[in-house]
């Protein structure tokens, strides 16, 4: 049921309960002659309830009689309880600690253990001994002043030489007291420091708990919290920049004005204008000129397209986060490793004239328009009896199956060979096994050794339209690498993005809303097609506007109304 | 004491039956008797003998105290002055409030400035229209009166938005305004438990606990009741304007009520001023209709009420359409300085959807002509309402202005157009039960809450009437959630939004209107009304039978299949879609442009169903997908929106809220997150901040309780020997 009762006030709320109580008392004590003594009993009981020295137990009885007699007694109760509770820790929450720099990789010079919570300073004070030791035992740090000292374990042994950075509430990331201990970057040091902190009274932070606290304490809003996560996991400079921009300026609104404006009125405004047109006719039927359905249809169509292009930004954003995996495959000795070296501007792979030099998968990172790309150089695929090379070939095929994109390399000198055809079949079978099509770029390498290949190629080999793109490259001179990058971008649908990367991105939540907008617009179009009455159009338009509105967040009813009154002359 | 009460009851009942014999003009007034009042008296008398309900005791004690200084005529006349509910004002809100309260068995007193003006229609002689008709259907489904009276007194009826979807289909009736007032008056007069008295209420009597105890009138009378409903309309410090001239009045020719505003302000209520207006009336006999476009009523008449007893067709009258001319616009432009708004001597805001003709011409300068509707005001009066032509121009210019309209070249004016300014109390001072937050037992309804329109007034009236009676009876108050009804939406808007212009219900205000249609108003609200006692057994039986027929028919349509034949051919022709063999009738009905009528034509309909029932079946089946989707969306939203906000939340302490949000939320004090989000000036970021605070408080409470449990366990372990004192013992000691 959508009906509910409300509590007019505490007194009202208590009446039924008191009456129940009264009836209860009537059973226990002799019935009063008139009703007035009964009233006195109520009053008395009431006062008694409030002044009772043991209110908690009474409250327990009260709640058992119904939820409405909640308010009054509970509050009194809590005040009493607070006096008995000495511990501030419980009041304010626990103090958490964790290693906040990365572990597992090669050790950095410095690593950080962070403490956050009301007793962060006292916990730190127990483990940290400043070099300039004050006579007072308690550590009383100045906020945002770095102190040099050592960390001691419970037995007083020095564990590490550290810098302590106190950031006192509320001027800290979590808005709680925060102490960051910068110690040496090796895992051993970090774990030992953390352990002493935990022994000194901190609890281990759950993943993301610092950010959760920042969010709960109002330091970050939701989209900012999301951006922090992105900054931490950002793989490339462009991704980090986009995430930083998000944190620094609460740019949600700005992003969407950018995305959805497209040099005209924002998409949401367009929804609202359409709603205005339609709703004005529903509320003021006989005062409005008829609606031009064609114009409405056109508008809806162009809105769908705008949403599509906004979703493209999401695609870019996803790539910024996860990056692309590109497998370079081909027969032995066509120059795969040279290509990788040339592209990544490194000597990552060993290059020799001997076919089958590369036995294992070799990775190298490049960045194309801000998108982090992992290049995977593979062993040349051929039938071989060499046990080691055989394993290498199997790995090559596995890598090809898992990649986002495959660059199949052939040699311009040798041209297309029957082995290439075979290899292509193998890749294709791999593709069909995963079910989804992995785009393949054909790279005709060693073009410098056979410049005529560029013109001859098309005539020489036909029927290779399974390649999504074809480029001519020379790993030695670097020729064609830019074409290769462009081909990659085109294939992942990001060719329109300027080389510096976009200034804004769409995050997952925002993307969801865009998808909902898109769905709403699709439903709208089908409603129109099925010739459903006008009112049904407004349902999906409202949905679309609401989805967009949640991004930048506003109530639409009032807006539609002011629009109607502003735009049309209605009202009798 | 008990005998006094009983005596009063007898007296009251005697008076009622007496007046019924004298004034029983309406043939159906007997049917209006609600059997529930009998049970109420039972309820009252039973506690008298054993334990009297709290309100009675509280009430008697105070009454004795306040009358102690005066001569005591207890048992002769003064007993009459004690009621359960007092309703101040006899307009559309007041009538519904008084009727609902009396029908729920509460002894109700209706105080009005002029008994001859009960349920008067001072402006447009019409009921219904988009969104407003939904309100009327809903009030009727709750057992209210407005729909029945409109059905009895219509001059013309039309369904608007016929082809634009079931949710926006709207019935509008032109009404005979004298007949309307007389019908409503006779219903009010013949309702048991309801007394009427002419009086100007000037003050509210307060009890010790910020509760209302009664009202005080201009002539010094005091009437006592634990519940008081104020429906002051445009009368509170009302002032009417024609041109530059003004006089204190609630309506033309009726005196305003003075003193109440000041006393409410003294109690700490915030008041403000609003303005509205009404156009001139012309003599129908002086209008030449020959060149005007007529607007006829529907051939097949629709009804507001779900009660078939009032479905009695009558002859319809015609409305006409005319337009403003260049000459009209010229006169207005030349005399703008003579109008209150543009001359600058009235500041109160008028409604945007009811702009004066000068507003329309100034704001939409490129429009060469505006539509003007001519509507008769009754069968026996020569007055014609000139809709769309309200103006603040002085009277001397009004007739020349009217005569610029085609058809009105030689018209004579019966009443001039005028504007009225009045006091209202921004409704954020009310809870959703319409009881004020400051004073227990005091309810506001109608224009005092800043609304406009008879339907909006009636909708609030019935809710405040129900709640006033329930409050007096010590029962929980009823709140209609926003998503449950247009009434709920209306009240939610009123109490959360900071409205500074008269509020009119519009379909665009309702986010889930597909679920809030006129056709399902009864299935949404009648069960509630029956439960609380406003729908009698006859209506309840009718309702249940109707629902049974509808669900049977839906079942039948799902099971009956056809293959080929005339029906299939016609359906595929109409819908442009092929009809597969062995299709159910339900699947046929779902096809575009397909209507139940086509089933009827081919003998596949159900002749036992009424037209209204067939329509319900058709809507339920045809739009099933949309309705289900809306319902699930609503469900998702409701779980979030209905999260309660603690009543003692100190918004000023929540520093993550914007300053504006802190101020607005402290002022409005919303009850749920959903309401908070609708408060003007509260951004989604503020709502996130609020959610965070709730979440943080929840975690804190959780941790505290965990700590307490641990402490208790520790304490228990330490003091095993201390005996537990049982709770009952503590209470009875």
Query: Is pLDDT of B627 > 50?
Result: yes
Where helices occur in B240-324 by DSSP H, the ranges are 260-266
* Per-10-residue mean pLDDT, chain A, length 572: 39 37 35 37 33 32 28 23 34 73 72 90 89 72 90 83 90 88 83 82 73 69 58 53 48 43 60 85 78 84 79 64 79 84 81 76 79 81 78 80 83 82 75 64 83 66 66 83 84 56 48 74 86 87 76 55 62 48
| Residue B721, in any domain of the structure | no
- Please list the residues that pair with B385 across neighbouring strands: B281, B375
Q: Is A134 left (phi over 0), alpha (psi -120 to 50) or beta?
A: beta
- Report yes or no on B38 lying in a domain: no
Q: Are strands A440-445 and A469-472 parallel, antiparallel or unpaired?
A: parallel
Q: For each of the domains in chain A, give its residue range(s) and CATH number, in order of start.
A: 96-205 (3.30.1360.120), 220-256+553-571 (no CATH), 267-314+507-552 (1.20.120.430), 323-352+359-492 (3.40.50.300)
Lowest mean pLDDT among A316-330, B42-56, B596-610, B701-715: B42-56
* pLDDT at residue A218, as a whole number: 64
Domain boundary among B642, B661, B696: B642
| Calpha distance B612→B546 (Å, rounded) | 10
What is the pLDDT confidence band of residue B464, given thresholds at 50, 70 and 90?
Answer: very high
Alpha-carbon distance of A78 to B605, in angstroms, equals: 66
**Helix A534-552 crosses helix B624-641 at what angle (to 10 degrees)?**
30
Return the percent helix, strand and coil in chain B, to nearest 5. Answer: 45, 15, 35
**Min Cα separation A2/chain B (Å):** 5
Chain A residue numbers touching B638 (CB-CB < 8 A)? 2
Same domain, B117 and B136: yes
Chain A touched by B712 (CB under 8 Å):
no
The DSSP symbol for B236 reads: B
Of the two residues B338 and A320, the one the predictor is more confident about is B338
Do B420 and B451 reside in the same domain of the chain?
A: yes
B93 and B205 fall within a common domain: yes
Compute how many other C-beta atoms are within 10 angstroms of the C-beta atom of residue A419.
17
Q: In this structure, are B330 and B354 located in the same domain?
A: yes
Q: Which B residues, 142 through 171, put their C-beta within 8 Å of a C-beta on chain A?
A: 160-161, 163-168
Closest partner residue to A8 among B351, B440, B483, by Cβ?
B440
Interstrand relation of A405-411 and A440-445 (parallel, antiparallel or unpaired): parallel
- Give the pLDDT of residue B219: 92
> Considering CB atoms only, which of A15, A45, A553 is closest to B684?
A553
Task: For B433-459, write each residue's pLDDT tens digit.
Answer: 999 999 999 999 999 999 999 999 999
Distance to chain A for B182, nearest Cα, Å: 26
Residue B420 has pLDDT above 80, yes or no: yes
Task: Give mean pLDDT, residues B166-189.
Answer: 95
Verify whether the Cβ–Cβ distance B707 to A19 is below 8 Å. no
B514 within some domain? yes
Specify whether B330 is located in the same domain as B307: yes
Distances (CA, A) of A61 to A48, B10, B521: 14, 42, 41
DSSP letter assigned to residue B595:
-
**Are both B511 and B545 inside the same structural domain?**
no
Give the closest residue to B515 by CA, choosing from B490, B491, B548, B485: B485
CB contact under 8 A, A54 and B364: no
The last residue of one of the domains, among B529, B549, B578, is B529
Assign B165 to helix, strand or coil. Answer: coil
Q: What is the pLDDT of residue B266?
A: 94
How far, in Å, CA of B409 to CA of B653, rounded? 66
Least confident of A242-246, B9-13, B575-579: B9-13
What is the C-alpha separation between B660 and B686, in angstroms, rounded?
Answer: 10
C-alpha torsion sign, points B403, B405, B410, B411: negative
Instruction: Give the residue numbers spanning the domain of B707.
Output: 643-712
We report the CATH number of the domain holding residue B648 as 1.10.150.570
Contact partners, residue B40, CB within 8 Å, separation at least 6: B104, B105, B106, B473, B533
The distance from CA B577 to its chain's CA centroid, rounded to whole angstroms, is: 44
Confidence at residue B555, expressed as pLDDT on a 0 to 100 scale: 92
B432–A6 CB contact, under 8 Å: yes
Scored b (16 or more CB within 10 A) or e, A325-353 reads bbbbbbbbbbbbbbbbbbbbeeebbebee
Round to whole Å and give the CA distance between B450 and B34.
Answer: 32
Strands across the sheet containing B126-128: B126-128, B170-175, B154-160
Q: Of the ranges A134-143, A250-259, B300-309, B342-351, which one carries the lowest mean pLDDT score? A: A250-259
Which of helix, strand or coil describes residue A365? strand
Average pLDDT over residues B695-720: 79
**Rounded Cα–Cα distance for residues B260 and B247 (Å):** 18
CB contact under 8 Å between A85 and B711, yes or no, is: yes
DSSP state letter for A146:
-
In this model, does residue B432 exceed pLDDT 60?
Answer: yes
**Domain membership flag for residue B76:** no
Residues B249, B178 share a domain: yes
A 10 A CB-CB count for B151 gives: 27
The answer to the question of residue B731 being in a domain is no
Evaluate whether B164 touches A534 at the Cβ level (below 8 Å): yes
- Whether the CB of B124 is below 8 Å from some CB of chain A: the reply is yes
Of A195, A484, A443, A476, the closest CA to residue A338 belongs to: A476
Write the Ramachandran bin of B230: left for phi over 0, alpha for psi from -120 to 50, otherwise beta: beta
- What's the rounded Cα separation, in Å, for the pair A223 and A255? 12
Do B540 and B519 share a structural domain?
no
Contact across the interface for A535 and B671, Cβ inside 8 Å: no
B477 and B420 within one domain: yes
Annotate A112-131 with b (16+ C-beta within 10 A) or e (fewer). bbbbbbbbbbbbbbbbbbee
Q: Which pLDDT does position A72 carry in this prediction?
A: 21
At residue A345, the 3 state secondary structure works out as coil
Nearest CB among B367, B508, B514 relative to A279 is that of B508
3-class secondary structure, A362? strand
Number of H helices, E strands in chain B: 25, 24
- Bridge-based pairing state of the strands A371-377 and A324-330: parallel
Residue B717 above 70 pLDDT?
yes
Which of B5, B325, B435, B295 has the alpha carbon at shortest distance from A5?
B435
Q: Which residues of B touch A54 (CB under 8 A)?
A: 725, 730
* Cα gap B340→B394, rounded to integer Å: 9
Q: Which residues contact A363 (CB under 8 A, 6 or more apart)?
A: A348, A374, A375, A376, A377
Residue in chain A closest to B675 (alpha carbons) equals A555
Q: Chain centroid to CA A159: how far?
A: 37
Residues of chain B positioned with their CB less than 8 A from the CB of A570: 353
**Please, what is the average pLDDT of chain B?**
84
CB–CB of B51 and A530 under 8 A? no
Please, what sign has the CA dihedral across residues A239, A243, A244, A245? positive
User: B159 pairs with which residues across the strands?
Assistant: B171
CB contact (8 A) between residue B707 and residue A87: yes
B171 beta partners: B159
Tell me: pLDDT of B261 over 50: yes
Report pLDDT digits (tens) over B111-139.
999 999 999 999 999 999 999 999 999 99
Measured in whole angstroms, the distance separating CA A31 from the mean position of its chain's CA atoms is: 68
Task: Tell me which chain A residues have a C-beta less than 8 angstroms from the C-beta of B528.
Answer: 1, 3
A·B CB contacts under 8 A: 204
**Residue pLDDT, tens place only, B364-376:** 888 888 889 999 9
- Nearest 5°: phi and psi at A500? -80, 0
* Closest alpha carbon to B374 in B322, B326, B418: B322
Instruction: State the pLDDT at residue A25.
Output: 34
How far apart CA B434 and CA B448 sit, in angstroms, is 11
**In angstroms, rounded to a whole number, what is the distance separating the alpha carbons of residues A281 and A276?**
9
Residues A250-272 pLDDT 10s? 334 444 444 444 434 577 778 88
Name the B residues in 47-66 with CB < 8 Å from any A CB: 51-54, 57
What three-state secondary structure class fits A436?
A: coil
B407 with B305, same domain? yes
Give the model's confidence band at B70: pLDDT under 50 very low, under 70 low, under 90 confident, else very high.
very low
**Considering the domain boundaries, does residue B147 fall inside one?**
yes
Question: Does residue A455 or residue B398 have the better pLDDT?
Answer: B398
Find, among A483, A412, A481, the residue nearest to A452 by Cα: A412
Of B360, B630, B671, the CB nearest to A569: B360
| Residue B316 confidence (pLDDT) above 90 | yes
Domain at B593, CATH number: 1.10.10.1800
What's the rounded Cα separation, in Å, for the pair B13 and B2?
A: 17
Q: Is residue B704 part of a domain?
A: yes
Report how many domains make up chain B: 3
Q: Which of B529, B545, B575 is the last residue of a domain?
A: B529
In a mutational test of the B interface, the residue from A549, A552, A572 whose CB has the highest number of chain B CBs within 10 Å is A572
**Same-domain status, B444 and B579:** no
**DSSP output for A105-127:** SSPPSEEEEEEESTTHHHHHHHH
Note if the bond before A170 is cis, omega within 30 degrees: yes
Contact list in A for residue B683 (CB cut-off 8 A) is 553-554
Shared domain for B605 and B670, answered yes or no, is no
Q: Is B62 part of a structural domain of the chain?
A: no
């Amino acid at each position: 049921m959508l009906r509910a009762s409300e509590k007019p006030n505490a007194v009202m709320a208590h009446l039924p309960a008191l009456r129940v109580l009264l009836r209860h008392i009537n059973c226990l004590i002799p019935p009063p002659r008139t009703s007035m003594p009964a009233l006195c009993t109520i009053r008395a009981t009431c006062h008694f309830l409030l002044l009772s020295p043991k209110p908690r137990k009474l409250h327990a009885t009260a709640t058992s009689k119904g939820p409405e007699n909640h308010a009054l007694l509970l509050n009194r109760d809590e005040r009493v309880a607070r006096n008995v509770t000495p511990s501030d820790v419980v009041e304010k929450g626990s103090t958490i600690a964790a290693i906040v720099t990365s572990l597992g990789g090669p050790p950095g010079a410095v690593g950080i253990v962070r403490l956050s919570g009301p007793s962060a300073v006292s916990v730190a004070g127990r483990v940290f001994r400043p070099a300039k030791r004050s006579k007072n035992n308690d550590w009383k740090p100045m906020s945002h002043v770095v102190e040099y000292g050592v960390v001691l374990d419970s037995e007083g042994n020095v564990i590490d030489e550290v810098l302590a950075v106190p950031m006192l509430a509320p001027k800290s990331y979590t808005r709680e007291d925060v102490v960051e201990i910068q110690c040496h970057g090796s895992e051993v040091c970090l774990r030992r420091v953390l352990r002493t902190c935990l022994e000194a009274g901190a609890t281990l932070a759950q993943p993301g708990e610092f950010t959760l606290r920042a969010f709960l304490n109002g330091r970050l809003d939701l989209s900012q919290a999301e951006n922090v996560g992105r900054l931490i996991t950002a793989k490339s400079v462009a991704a980090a920049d986009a995430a930083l921009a998000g944190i620094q300026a609460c740019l949600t609104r700005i992003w969407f004005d950018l995305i959805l404006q497209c040099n005209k009125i924002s998409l949401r405004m367009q929804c609202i204008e359409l709603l205005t047109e339609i709703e004005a006719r529903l509320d003021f039927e006989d005062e409005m000129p008829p609606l031009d359905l064609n114009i409405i249809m056109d508008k809806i169509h162009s809105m769908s397209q705008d949403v599509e292009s906004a979703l493209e930004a999401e695609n870019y954003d996803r790539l910024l986060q996860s990056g692309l995996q590109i497998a370079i495959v081909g027969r032995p000795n066509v120059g795969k490793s040279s290509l990788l070296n040339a592209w990544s501007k490194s000597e990552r792979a060993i290059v020799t004239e001997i076919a089958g030099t590369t036995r294992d998968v070799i990775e190298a990172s490049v960045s194309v328009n801000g998108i982090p790309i992992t290049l995977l150089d593979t062993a040349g695929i051929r039938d071989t009896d060499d046990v080691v090379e055989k394993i290498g070939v199997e790995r090559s095929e596995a890598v090809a199956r898992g990649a986002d994109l495959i660059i199949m390399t052939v040699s311009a000198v040798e041209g297309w060979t029957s082995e290439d055809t075979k290899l292509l079949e193998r890749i294709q079978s791999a593709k069909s096994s995963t079910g989804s099509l992995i785009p393949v770029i054909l790279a005709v390498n060693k073009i410098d050794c056979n410049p005529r290949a560029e013109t001859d190629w098309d005539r020489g080999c036909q029927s290779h339209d399974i390649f999504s793109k074809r480029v001519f490259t020379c790993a030695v001179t670097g020729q064609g690498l830019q074409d290769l990058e462009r081909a990659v971008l085109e294939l992942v649908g990001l060719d329109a993005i300027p080389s510096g990367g976009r200034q804004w991105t769409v995050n997952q939540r925002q993307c969801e809303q865009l998808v909902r907008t898109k769905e709403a617009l699709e439903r709208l179009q089908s409603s129109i097609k099925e010739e459903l009455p006008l009112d049904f159009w407004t349902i999906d338009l409202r949905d679309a506007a609401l989805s967009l509105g949640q991004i930048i967040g506003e109530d639409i009813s009032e807006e539609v109304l002011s629009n109607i009154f502003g735009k049309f002359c209605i009202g009798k | 004491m008990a005998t006094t009460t009983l005596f009063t009851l007898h007296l009251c009942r005697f008076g009622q039956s007496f007046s019924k014999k004298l004034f029983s003009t309406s043939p159906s007034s007997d049917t209006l008797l609600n059997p529930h009042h009998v049970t109420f008296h039972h309820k009252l008398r039973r506690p008298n003998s054993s334990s009297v309900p709290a309100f009675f005791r509280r009430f008697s004690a105070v009454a004795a105290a306040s009358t102690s200084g005066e001569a005591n005529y207890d048992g002769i006349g003064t007993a009459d002055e004690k009621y359960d509910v007092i309703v101040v004002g006899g307009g559309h809100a007041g009538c519904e409030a008084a009727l609902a309260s009396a029908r729920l068995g509460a002894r109700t007193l209706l105080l009005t400035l002029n008994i001859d003006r009960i349920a008067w229609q001072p402006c447009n002689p019409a009921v219904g229209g988009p969104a407003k008709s939904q309100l009327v259907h809903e009030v009727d489904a709750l057992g209210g009166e407005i729909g029945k009276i409109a059905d009895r007194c219509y001059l013309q009826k039309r369904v608007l938005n016929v082809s634009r979807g079931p949710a926006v289909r709207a019935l509008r009736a032109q009404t005979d305004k004298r007949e309307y007032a007389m019908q409503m008056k006779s219903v009010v007069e013949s309702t048991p438990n309801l007394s009427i008295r002419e009086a100007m209420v000037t003050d509210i009597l307060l009890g010790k606990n910020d509760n209302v105890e009664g009202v005080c009138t201009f002539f010094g009378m005091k009437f006592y009741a634990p519940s008081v409903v104020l429906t002051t309309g445009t009368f509170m410090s009302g002032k009417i304007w024609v041109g530059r001239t003004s006089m204190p009045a609630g309506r033309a020719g009726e005196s305003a009520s003075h003193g109440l505003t000041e006393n409410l302000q003294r109690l700490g209520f915030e008041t403000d001023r609003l303005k509205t207006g009404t156009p001139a009336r012309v003599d129908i006999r002086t209008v030449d209709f020959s060149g005007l476009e007529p607007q006829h009523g529907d051939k097949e008449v629709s009804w507001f009420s779900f009660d078939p007893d009032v479905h009695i067709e009558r002859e319809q009258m015609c409305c006409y359409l005319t337009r403003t001319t260049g000459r009209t616009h010229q006169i207005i432009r030349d005399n703008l300085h003579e109008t209150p708004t543009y001359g600058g001597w009235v500041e109160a805001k008028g409604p945007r959807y009811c702009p004066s003709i000068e507003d329309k011409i100034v704001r939409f300068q490129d429009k060469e002509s505006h539509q003007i509707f001519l509507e008769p005001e009754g069968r026996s009066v020569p007055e014609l309402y000139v809709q769309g032509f309200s103006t603040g121009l002085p009277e001397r210019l009004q007739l020349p202005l009217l005569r610029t309209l085609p058809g009105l070249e030689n018209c004579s004016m019966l009443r001039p157009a005028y504007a009225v300014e009045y006091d209202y109390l921004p409704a954020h001072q009310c809870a959703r039960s319409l009881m004020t937050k400051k004073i227990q037992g005091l309810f506001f309804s109608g224009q005092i809450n800043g609304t406009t329109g008879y339907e909006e007034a009636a909708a609030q009236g019935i809710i405040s009437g129900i709640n006033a009676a329930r409050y007096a009876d010590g029962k929980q108050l009823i709140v209609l959630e926003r998503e449950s009804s247009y009434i709920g939406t209306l009240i939610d808007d009123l109490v959360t939004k900071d409205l500074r212009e008269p509020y009119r219900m519009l379909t665009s205000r309702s986010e889930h209107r597909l679920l809030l249609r006129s056709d399902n108003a009864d299935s949404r609200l009648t069960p509630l009304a029956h439960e609380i006692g406003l729908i009698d057994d006859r209506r309840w039986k009718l309702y249940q039978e109707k629902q049974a027929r509808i669900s049977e028919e839906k079942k039948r349509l799902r099971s009956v299949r056809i293959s080929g034949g005339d029906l299939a051919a016609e359906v595929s022709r109409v819908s442009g879609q092929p009809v597969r063999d062995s299709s159910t009738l339900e699947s046929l009905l779902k096809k575009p442009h397909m209507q139940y009528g086509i089933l009827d034509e081919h003998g596949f309909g159900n002749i036992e169903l009424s037209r209204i029932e067939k329509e319900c079946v058709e809507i339920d089946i045809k739009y099933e997908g949309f309705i289900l989707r809306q319902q699930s969306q609503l469900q998702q939203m409701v779980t979030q929106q209905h999260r309660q906000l603690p009543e003692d939340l100190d918004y000023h302490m929540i520093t993550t809220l914007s300053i504006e949000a802190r101020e607005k939320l402290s002022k409005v004090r919303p009850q749920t997150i959903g309401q908070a989000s609708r408060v003007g000036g509260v951004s989604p970021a503020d709502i996130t901040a609020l959610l965070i605070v709730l979440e943080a408080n929840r975690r804190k409470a959780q941790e505290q309780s965990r700590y307490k449990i641990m402490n208790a366990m520790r304490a228990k372990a330490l003091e095993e020997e201390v005996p537990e004192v049982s709770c009952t013992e503590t209470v009875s000691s």
